[in-house]
Structure 1
Amino acid sequence: MDEITSSSDNTDSSGRTDGADGPTQGPPRRDRANRRAALVATLIAVPVTVAVAGFTLAKLAPGTPAAEPAPSATSARPQSTAPVEMAAPKLPDRPEIVCRALTSQLPSTVRGLGQRPVTAGPEQNAAYGDPALTVACGGDEPAPGSTDDVWVVNKVCWYAVEGPDATVLTTLDRETAVRVTVPHALGSALQWVSPISDVVVASVPSGGAVPAGCTG
């Protein structure tokens, strides 16, 4: 059997290999190349790591607060909570019962206007928003002078009278009158009586002759 001879006899501890033409440089070149590649990789990785860390901190840091949403028809508006001054005349027994039924079913908000306390007669009066939209129950219904000012909203007939600061709408087809006063600052008055009309239909019986123009 031929004897296998190790080549390590010609290699010294520095990694040089003696050959016929003299010593040649071996593994140290590869080591330097590997170290150089590692250094380049490190130089690239450090700024990338810093950039990633900065991005992460930016994501975690609190941002600029979002602007407050503007009030809409379905969101509550900022308003005074002071009681709204309203009169409360003494009502006969039957209208008092009807008005209590009405006020007990009124919503807590009307198109984003929150309900406010009143100075008198909460069993017959209600108020919303600032400037205040008011609802008053009781008394006789008016006799409209013209059908041009008569409007039917959600099956309730309303008579509109324009004032200097507000529109007053009064029912014409109910057992007892319901009056809604809408400040001009709130815009079109008819849009505000729409949710109130639903409560009127549910709580105030119709009565008397239906005036001309009330065809709803």
Structure 2
Amino acid sequence: MSNQAIDHYAERVDDDDGDRFSDAIRLLLLIAAVSGPLNEPEKLNAPRDAVAVLRAEGRLQKLDFWLRNPDYLAHELLNDYEREEEPINLELASSILDSDEPEICSIPMLRYLFGAFEYIDQAMSILAAPRLVLVVPRRTANRVLQDNYYLTAKGRAVADQATKQFPVLAWYTERAHLVQALAEATGHTVLALRKRQYLQRDYAQTPLNEPIPSIANHARARLARLRAEAEEDVA
């Protein structure tokens, strides 16, 4: 992926038009931030230039939902704050909800049977052509068990370059690391992430094949209440 291509994305990053290139660079930054090291069996079968892997499309979809919907990410941080009473979670949620991030950075997703979902084949093909991310199915004799997403050394370099060169892209990497921390606290399995997202009422009650609605107003009202309670405790 050339500098000209990254320049093109940086100019369009705030567009919400389903542009495939925008989806591709967002997914590259997400995979670069959340993918983990290859285990020994994977090293034997992974692409030769792979440096990290994200396992299962379902997991990628769940993490992408939080990246694309800052209001839902903030909602989960408030959940963690109420459960663990760690001030940092309140501060992180505040940094999202005190800004217009939930409005200008939102990229809605549809709810399918197993939660938020979007077809990503075209975006992944953009990443696969220059060998930035390679999709390798793990299969039995009869069926595909899951798709694994291998980040290559070239993909890592392009993600690092894009983040350093364009602050607007650095935001995606910063939020992706926050999403990763949330996933680690939840459990890495697709089922654990799905269960957590379905605990949010607006998400769970969205009709099938309809956009999952914003909860920014609800999250901001909740933030105000929790702040007031925290101030009372200090007083």
Q: What is the TM-score normalised by the length of structure 1? A: 0.26
Which has the greater radius of gyration? 1
TM-score (norm 2): 0.24
